[in-house]
């Protein structure tokens, strides 16, 4: 499970450093913010794959940021794990009610943090995990970076691979071009929506060999969906 871009929002430099070092060691890319204002600027800019969010921050409480993210159509799917020294059960409930996906009480071990991140990604962003997935005979294995249709190997470019991985982990749901840009391209300020159509076309062409191209449906006026 490598290469996720994780934003660490934590105002205590020593804790921030400890978390960042461990995340980088595990192969993640780390961005850092010391308060909610900095975090919000970065979130708009990079749309991170996951946010580790301290509760007690110098400007606004972490729970306020969690609520704002959940109310934002473009950001509501970003997984959030709250970090806190507040161990009360009522605090935990408040954190989860604010929209956090999980809650870790300080002090925590790096091992526990990594396990929680893995579990949250598996649940909320399976396209970022290394779990192999198969639908209708079409199989994708992120670990070996291989795709096959009914056992026949299919060759895909890197973007088509990511696109197919996202569809396979989110079947039956329609995604607009902008949503696909957010989810598959990530930071896409300079990418046009038409680019999505180009890569969908390439993906379908590659899947034609095993007749899996019909899995990727165009939903008129809305976007695309994988329909099993």
d(CA 99, CA 83): 13
| Residues 6+ away with beta carbon under 8 Å from 174 | 219, 222, 223, 224, 225
Q: Rule CB under 5 A: is residue 21 a binding residue for Ca ion?
A: no
Between helix 194-208 and helix 158-169 the angle, nearest 10°, is: 90
What is the number of the residue whose Cβ is closest to Ca ion?
56
Comparison of 13 and 157: residue with beta carbon closer to Ca ion = 13
Comparison of 86 and 118: residue with beta carbon closer to Ca ion = 86
d(CA 138, CA 127): 15
Task: Choose the binding region for Ca ion from 3-11, 125-133, 178-186, 205-213 (rule: CB under 5 A).
Answer: 3-11
Q: Rule CB under 5 A: is residue 11 a binding residue for Ca ion?
A: yes
Interacting residues with Ca ion between 37 and 56 (CB under 5 A): 54, 56
Q: Rule CB under 5 A: is residue 94 a binding residue for Ca ion?
A: no
Interacting residues with Ca ion between 137 and 156 (CB under 5 A): none
- DSSP code for 11: S
Interacting residues with Ca ion between 53 and 82 (CB under 5 A): 54, 56
* CA angle in degrees (0–180, nearest 5) for 40-49-204: 125
Q: Which residues bind Ca ion (CB under 5 A)?
A: 11, 54, 56
């Amino acid at each position: 499970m490598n290469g996720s871009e994780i934003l660490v929002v934590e105002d205590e430099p020593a804790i921030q450093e400890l978390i960042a070092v461990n995340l980088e060691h595990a192969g993640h890319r780390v961005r850092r913010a010391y308060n909610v204002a900095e975090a919000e600027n970065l979130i708009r800019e990079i749309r991170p794959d996951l946010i580790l969010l301290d509760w007690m921050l110098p400007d606004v409480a972490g729970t306020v940021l969690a609520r704002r993210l959940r109310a934002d159509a473009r950001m509501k799917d970003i997984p959030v794990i709250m970090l806190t020294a507040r161990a009360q059960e009522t605090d935990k409930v408040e954190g989860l009610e604010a929209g956090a996906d999980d809650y870790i009480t300080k002090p925590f071990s790096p091992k526990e943090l990594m396990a929680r991140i893995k579990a949250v990604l598996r649940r909320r962003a399976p396209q970022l995990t290394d779990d192999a997935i198969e639908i209708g005979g079409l199989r994708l294995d992120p670990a070996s970076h291989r795709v096959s249709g009914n056992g026949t190997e299919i060759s895909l470019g890197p973007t088509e691979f990511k696109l197919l991985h996202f569809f396979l982990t989110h079947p039956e749901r329609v995604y607009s071009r902008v949503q696909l840009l957010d989810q598959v391209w990530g930071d896409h300020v300079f990418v046009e929506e038409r680019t999505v159509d180009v890569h969908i076309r390439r993906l379908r062409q590659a899947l034609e060999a095993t007749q899996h191209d019909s899995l990727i449906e165009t939903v008129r006026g809305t976007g695309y969906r994988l329909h099993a």
